[in-house]
Amino acid sequence: MIEGGEMKGEGIFLSLLLIVSTSLVVSGCVKVEHEVVEATRPEWKIGDYWEFRYKDPKVKSYTMKLLEKKEFEGTMCYVLVDEEIGAERYYTLDLNNKALVVGGGVIYKYEPEVRHLDWPLWVGKKWHHSYVVIPAIGRRPRVEADFEVVRIEKVRVPAGRFIAFKIIQKVRGRILREMWYSPEVKFFIRYKTDFKGRRPIKNELLEYRVQ
């Protein structure tokens, strides 16, 4: 009886372990010994919502709510809307930035999309990406960018405290952008862009809702 009870208990334990492991993979993160070591691509759902603010009290916050999926110039994208300013942000199904449309007009687009995220993520991963910035008017510069996941950090922002993968983007050897991706939030919780000769642009997550 004891032997049968032990086998039954072991079976229950293995079943619970499988359930926990599966839930971690579905949520977009993999844990080993209670430590996040890898982030896999999540799937956004209609109604998911993120609100950001610039790290400048003079600038308003902006929101991104997932409205639908549709094609943008042949690429299937998530459409994130900010109803207050009539903006639509297009992200590929890999969660990478494709275009910004305001009032029906294209403000900018990337060809191909900017690959800020290259799945799966782990510390030390590097990738190179070449893309063209296409504004509504003006030049169309080609950008040669190098990305690296430099570490995992515990980051506090107005929306809370999160485990995040810190990613840096370098252009011509100089850090252009720092980004913190959270598997729990399914998006960036903080990012900072430093254009040479300009004041850095800082954004932090104020509120979010994901399914």
| pLDDT-derived band at 58, boundaries 50, 70, 90 | low
| pLDDT-derived band at 31, boundaries 50, 70, 90 | low
Check if CATH label 2.40.360 holds for domain 38-209.
yes
Residues present in the chain in total: 211
Q: Does position 25 have pLDDT exceeding 70, yes or no?
A: no
Closest by Cα among 143, 107, 146 to 127: 146
pLDDT mean over 186-195: 93
Within 10 A of 171 (CB to CB), how many other CB atoms are there?
13
Please tell me the predicted confidence (pLDDT) of residue 136: 74
- Pairing between β-strand 187-193 and β-strand 174-182 as defined by DSSP bridges: antiparallel
166 is written with which tokens? Answer: 């810190």
| pLDDT-derived band at 30, boundaries 50, 70, 90 | low
Please tell me the distance from the alpha carbon of residue 165 to that of residue 102, in angstroms, as a whole number.
Answer: 30
User: Where are the strands (E) in 22-141, listed by range?
Assistant: 29-32, 35-39, 49-54, 62-72, 75-82, 87-92, 97-102, 105-111, 126-135
Please tell me the distance from the alpha carbon of residue 173 to that of residue 45, in angstroms, as a whole number.
Answer: 37
**R_g (Cα) of the chain, nearest Å:** 20
Q: Which residue has the higher pLDDT, 29 or 137?
A: 137
Q: Does position 90 have pLDDT exceeding 70, yes or no?
A: yes
Please tell me the distance from the alpha carbon of residue 81 to that of residue 46, in angstroms, as a whole number.
Answer: 11
CB under 8 Å to 190, separation ≥6 — which residues? 155, 157, 164, 179, 180, 202, 203, 204, 205
